[in-house]
Amino acid sequence: MVSDGKVVSNPLERSSCNNCGHGFHAKNFSEEQIKEIYSADYSIGLRDPVAEAARSAEYSRQIEAFLTHQLGNEANFPKIIEFGCGSGTLLSHLTDRLGAQIATGVEPSSRVAANARLNVGDRISIHQGFAEQFEETAPDYNLCLSVNVIEHTRNPRGFLQACRRVIHKTGNIVVICPDGEIVGSELLFYDHISNFTRASLAMIAASANLRIVANSPLMGGLQGFRIYLLRFGDADLGNQARGFEVLSQERVEYVNTWSKVQDTTCGMLKGRKYGVFGTGEYSDLLHAYSPSVIEKAEFFVRDQPVEADFYGKPVVSVKDFLSLPRLPLIAAVHERSWPLVRDRFKSEDVQIFHSLEIARQDLIP
């Protein structure tokens, strides 16, 4: 599955480096395949504008806190550029919060870029294109930002070089990406070409004459992501690489568990009517990797429905669901949110299951 929920027909085959923990596709894919994925209809972030706005505000808050913590009074950036600016919401927040006079957003999808132009204020200009092709006479930005972009690039070194090209030599590069040291659903996104560990990103940065000066996991609703601060300079890669065999093995087990989800979930619910809680990314994952679980569901449940139907099924509010005779639910929520969701519905006497947990239990001999 691609990040916007689209299903591609190529099988998912991943590998990991045991020395640095870098995760990658076993088969490299072409420039054409990348362009196809990010063509005009790539629409991540346009589906639920309310959730997208809340998420941007949270990214903005955590980026600002990280920069203030790392740079103190220097955390002031007259000129900001964001590669992969999406709707432009985050760039707008940061332009205000970090005191920028000029900001540039670069976005490869023409449809998303056109939407961004409508969202941003006078100080921000939006360019359609890829970071690697961005050109400006004297860029000299104080901050180059990218949020969940580098893992999509076919050539992360080339991407970091593009970041380096646009900043002043005293400038800062902030990169946020999924934390590849945490094994989870990130592995299922076909368009996540790389899974970065701190060690693997440090090596790639060094090859672009950059060094990671600080990094930190993001918190709360952004758990699972890591923020990096990079600057010009030579890295000390001394003892970065260590044995990553355990991480490699955990990734294999995670993906193998997902390959059992459809059979084990359908087996357990055989003949019963049920609903699916959640209409987000995790529902898309179930749809892509275990389509029968979604096809056989009666309806979706979510807190504040923004859509009348989803994958051809009605979407009902939790309140309405609880007013009806209770049917069991499959929780289409991230593994880290599962305990909270489980306890919440159990307290309402609702039988609720998580597909990954069912598949894992099935694997226990």
Q: Summarize as ranges the residues that interact with Zn ion (CB under 5 A).
A: 17, 19-20, 22
Q: How far apart are CA 223 and CA 40, in angstroms?
A: 30
Strand 194-195's sheet: what is its strand order?
14-16, 23-25, 194-195
CB of 17 to Zn ion, least distance (A): 3
What is the distance between the terminal CA atoms of the chain, rounded to a whole angstrom?
Answer: 30
Q: Which is nearer to Zn ion, 252 or 318 (CB)?
A: 252
CB of 252 to Zn ion, least distance (A): 16
Q: Which is nearer to Zn ion, 212 or 331 (CB)?
A: 212
CB of 77 to Zn ion, least distance (A): 33
Q: Which two tokens stand for residue 313?
A: 């099924």
**Beta strands 167-178; 141-147: pairing state:** parallel
Q: Which two tokens stand for residue 259?
A: 């390959």
Q: Which is nearer to Zn ion, 20 or 106 (CB)?
A: 20
Q: Which is nearer to Zn ion, 240 or 279 (CB)?
A: 240
Find the Cα–Cα–Cα–Cα dihedral 130, 135, 140, 145, rounded to 10°: 0
Biggest CA–CA distance in the chain, Å, is: 66
CB of 209 to Zn ion, least distance (A): 19
CB of 349 to Zn ion, least distance (A): 50
Find the Cα–Cα–Cα–Cα dihedral 95, 97, 100, 106, rounded to 10°: -30
**Beta strands 194-195; 23-25: pairing state:** antiparallel
Q: Which is nearer to Zn ion, 170 or 249 (CB)?
A: 249
